[in-house]
Every structure is written in structure tokens, then in C-alpha cells.
Structure 1
Amino acid sequence: MGCCSSTNGDSRAARVARWRSTGIVALRDFKLKVLPGEIFEVLASNLIERLPNNLGNLRSLKVLTLDGNRLRNLPDELGALSRLEQLSITNNILICLPNTVGHLHNLLILNVSSNKLKSLPESIGGCTSLEEFQANDNLIEELPLSICNLIHLKSLFLNKNNMHQLPQNLLRGCKALQNLSLHDNPIAMEQFQQMDGFLEFEARRKKKFDKQIDSNVMMSSTALDEGLDL
């Protein structure tokens, strides 16, 4: 296949372990035609402070995990990763996201939890395929209005931020939203319940949980909570 179905019979876990211990130079032993996806697992839990500007050349990349580093910023070239579906940059020191994040039209999952973000770019509304967005444990005070354009968004997690309110049209615009978690934010349940589209949101949420119960799916003790602190 040109990837790492190597003649050495290496397992995926063995390759990742060796790359962690010897560095990416270990790749020279393989006659690669395609860069293996697991190579990007070794980028997590390091001391990376910045990414190269030529990151955008990885046009076929679908998953990028950069958790547990020291990133303060991301290059604008991130937006060139047109096939990216999953991006995780948790436990860094990000102070902002580049405006070009809105060019990631195929992005399904975005996790920027445990950073220093005070806001999100208006361009986030351009991530039109986004289904799950996690931004827990940041310093976010408000969401851009464009987030209401994410019609495929099912799960939005914003615990431990500084949000007093949400865009009034969030629940109506994000018409697929089923999970919304806002614990440890200074926002009142009454204010949340008065938002446009609240009843429709509650109906979607109830339908999801009823389906899980009918299917005997195990749920955590917090699965049925309201997503806010009362």
C-alpha cells in the first residue's frame, strides 16, 4: 500500500513507540509513498512552542493532535489543511485562533480545551461541517454570532469560562444541537430557557436520551442534567 504495512511486520503501536524514542528519523527505514496518519500522534505531549509555516502543505491530513504542548499561536497556514476532520489542541497556552480556521470546511471535531482563549474568531462559522466543539477551561467571555451558522453542530462544551450570555439565535441557528454544557459560567438557567429555540433544543435532547434508553445505552449520572449550574 506504500504506507507502513511494512515487511518488518511492525504493529501500529510499535511504530509510534519507536518514533517517540528515536525521533521521526526512524521513518527513513521505510519506503513511504504516503505519510502514515499515526505519525501525528507523536506531536502530542511535547514542548512544541510553534508550528512551521509549511504546515499547510499537508493537504491530505485528516487528523492533527497537538495536545499538551506550549503553543501560544497557530500559523495562518492551518487553514490550508482542507481535508482536516479532527483537530485537538488541548492543554496548551493558546491566546487566540487564526482567522483561517474558518477555511476548514471539512472539520468535524474541534477541541481547544484548557488554553487561554478569551474569544473565538468570527470566522469559526465557516467550519460548516463541524459536529462537536469543545472549548472547556478557557477565558471565553462571549461567542461570535457566526457560531449560529453551524447547522450540523451536535455538541458544544464550554464549561469553565467567563460567559454571561449566549448569542440569542444559537439554539435556533444550530438546529442539530443536542448537547450544550455551560457548567462554571456566570449564566443563569432562566436566561438560557428564554432563548429563541429553547423548546426545540429540549425536544432534540429528550429524543436523543429516549433513544439511548430504548437501546439500553449506558449513560453517566450527568447525562440528563441541564448543562448549567443552578
Structure 2
Amino acid sequence: MEVHVSIKHLKLLKFWSMRSCASLKELPAEVSALSSLEILILSFCFFLETLPEGLGDMKALTVLILKNTRVKELPNSVTQLKRLSKLSLKECKLLIELPDLIGKLESLKDLIIAGTRLETIPNSIGDIGNLQTLDATSCTSLSALPESIGRLKKLRWLKLDQTGIQELPDSIGFLEELDTMFMSGGKLKVLPSSFGRLRNLVRLEIPGPVFSNRPENMVNLQNLMVLNLSENGENFNSWYISYLDFENLPSLKSLILDGNYFDQLPLSIGKLSWLEELSICGCEGIHYLPQLPSSLKSLSARLCTQLKAFWDMSNLKHLRKLDLSGCRALLKIYGHQHLESIEEIDLRCCLQLEREFNIMCQKEEEELQWSYISNPNEPIKLIIEFPDPHCGRMPSIGVLVYAMVGPEVIF
């Protein structure tokens, strides 16, 4: 497929999409004459390898999407696109470098380089004063960020999942507007001492072990609402979690610790008065759960194979979803009769749970009362799933049922 040179006569063209033109290999030099073009989309042009050197003459261009192309480099003239606000190079797997003077893109707000083979980011990136999003997800060859990153005063989203970055520059602490940061699945080993300055951080996904050397970095994260320290099921020996002081995170609503290996949650977790979601799936070292915040709405402890007891649930009056599936050593749950808002419970493979555990009803004057269902017309779902070949035997749990459908017990 070819683009005819007559394209240059479309002087008023503002939007042009060649998305998924798989046979397109190049654009003619004449496209640089499209002086009114604002949006150019070339995503999924899998055989597109080069861009015309005159690309920088398209002065009105604000959006350039090159996702999933075979572009190896950008023409230097791209730095002349003073109005460009979004540049997407996602999954350009042959791209190995950016223009040294990319900092001249003074209007750029979103730079997406995820899935490229970039090894470095030019130091001039610090000159892009309007940059708000930098996405370098899966840039496995990227080993460092330039110190100039700290000059991006308007940066709000920083995505560095699955990169080769082992440490962050100290200047990261000067990102005053940063509210979301992703660094899971990579090689990050330690946080800089300046990390605690990120007072506007709202969401943080980062390898848990990096906090083991500098737990004091949590002290000033007063606005943090989502903290993900999961280890992707690798069961890292995360002893430090037992000593984290969650009192320093008063705004936290979601805490995800999946795949870590620790024997207990710190008692300070009970003081997270805004916490709504707690996930500790696959934390095989934990033996019991302390009293949790009354604000909790969702608790996932799936495959906590050593968990033996949940000491007190009586305060969890807002809990809607409880997942204890695969907790094969679980013997006792205290206070379950006070779960006034519960909607779904998953007890698959809870082999040791005591026979008298009757989660859904209580006997009063010889009648079974639905004592805490605010709307009796809305069903509660209890998942037991039997027989389950992975459990070894059927769970001995006493329950009241209205109907049994397939492998699930539904109220």
C-alpha cells in the first residue's frame, strides 16, 4: 500500500488515521505539506519503518500515534513540533533511542515509550515543562532515569513497571505534582532518601522489599490512598512488613500485599480508619489475622495456607466480600455472626473449619432469623464448591441453603 503524493493538496485536513494499514511501509515526503493536520494515527502499521524527515514541518500537529510500528528512530525534525501534546511510541519494539533534543517539545503532556528497546532517556527530557505522563512500562533495557527528571514539575503519572531500573535518581523527590507511580515487576532495589517528599502521591505500586532499607520513606505519604507492595507470587521473605507503621498512612483505602512472606500483620493496620480493601493472597507465612479496621469492605486472603485463625471479625460491619479460599489450615473465625453487610464469602478448600461454623443465620425462638440482611430480597452468595479435587475431601461446614446450583451453594 502506498500513499499518493497528491496528499499534499489536502491543505485543510486536520485528522488522518491510517490505523491497521498493515502493508504501509513508508509515507511520502509530501505529507509534510499538511500544514493544518492536528492528529496523525499510524498505529498497527506493522511494516512502517521510516518517517519523512520533513515531519517537523507539520506545525499544527498535536497528536502523533506510532503504536506497534517498526519505526527504529524518529527524524530529528520531530523536535520542531511545538504544539505536539501526545507522542505514543508504545510497542515500537525496534526503537532504541529518542532524539537528543526531545526537550524542545515544550507542549508535550503525554510521552508513551512502553515496550520499546530504549536504553536511555535523553537528559533534555527535563526541559519538557508541561509533561504530565511518562509511561516506560516494559522497557526492559532501560537501566536508569536521568537526574533531570526532577525538573518535571507537572508530572503526575510515572509508569516504570518491568524495567531494568535498579535505583531512582535523588531528584525524584522534586516531582511535586506526582500522584501515581508504578514500579512493580522490575529490578528496583532501593528508594532514594528524597522519596518521602512526594506528599501528593495517591497511588503507589512498587516492589515491597525496597521499603526494607528505608521504611522511613512512608512517613510523609499522608495522601496515599492505594499501596501495592505485592510480589507477584514469588513469596519474598518480607519480614519488614510486620514492622511497618501504617499510622503514617492515614488516607490509605487499598492495601495489597499479595505474594509476600511474613508471619503477621502489624497491629497498626487496625488504625487505618479509611481502609476499604485488604489483599494478602498467597502470603503463606501468616498464621493469624489481628482485628482489622471497621471500614473494611473487601478482604482477600486466598491461599494463605498457614492461616489458622481470624481472631475477631465483630467490628467488620461494612464487609461485603470475604475470600478465604485455599486457607487449608483455617480452624476458627471469631465474630462472623456480626457481618451485617456481607454479600459474598468464598470458603473453597477450607478443610479444617469447625463444623459449628454457621455463617448465615442464628436460631431465635426456634426460628431461623436473617438477623443482619438489610434487604432480604438481595441474595447472599456462599461459595464452597464441592467436590474439589484440589482439597482432598469435602469441607465439614454446617450451612443453611435455599438452593444448590451446580458446584455452588447460593442463598
Q: 1:131 aligns with which of 144, 156, 161?
A: 156
Q: Does structure 1 residue 89 correspond to structure 2 residue 113?
A: yes
Query: Larger relative CO (CA 8 A, sep 6+): 1 or 2?
Result: 1
CA displacement, residues 118-175 of structure 1 (integer Å, 9 cap, x when unaligned): 111000011110000001111111100111000000011111222221012212x222
Q: How far off is 1:196 after superposition?
A: 5.8
RMSD: 3.0
Equivalence for 1:217: none
Quickly say closer, same or farther: Cα 1:121–1:227, change in 2 above 3 A: farther
Q: TM (normalized to structure 1)?
A: 0.75
Matches within 5 A, 1:18-167: 22=24, 24-25=27-28, 32-39=34-41, 41=43, 42-69=65-92, 70-115=94-139, 116-167=141-192
From the two aligned structures, give the one with the greater strand fraction: 2
Rg larger in structure: 2
Matches within 5 A, 1:208-219: 209=253
Equivalence for 1:214: none
- The unaligned stretches of length 5 or more in structure 2 are 1-10, 44-64, 228-249, 262-411
Alignment check: 8 A CA contact 1:113 1:134 kept: yes
**Percentage of pairs with the same residue:** 26
Amino acid at match of 2:157: E
Q: Does structure 1 residue 197 correspond to structure 2 residue 219?
A: yes
Paired residues, what number?
A: 204
From the two aligned structures, give the one with the greater helix fraction: 1
> Partners in 2 of 1:63 and 1:203 — Cα distance?
28
> Partners in 1 of 2:172 and 2:221 — Cα distance?
19
Equivalence for 2:256: 225
Matches within 5 A, 1:164-203: 164-171=189-196, 173-183=197-207, 186-188=209-211, 190-195=212-217, 197-198=219-220, 200-202=222-224
> Partners in 2 of 1:154 and 1:35 — Cα distance?
33
- The unaligned stretches of length 5 or more in structure 1 are 6-11, 210-222
Q: How far off is 1:191 after superposition?
A: 3.8
Q: How far off is 1:74 after superposition?
A: 1.1
CA displacement, residues 176-203 of structure 1 (integer Å, 9 cap, x when unaligned): 11111113x6424x44532263452557
Q: TM (normalized to structure 2)?
A: 0.44
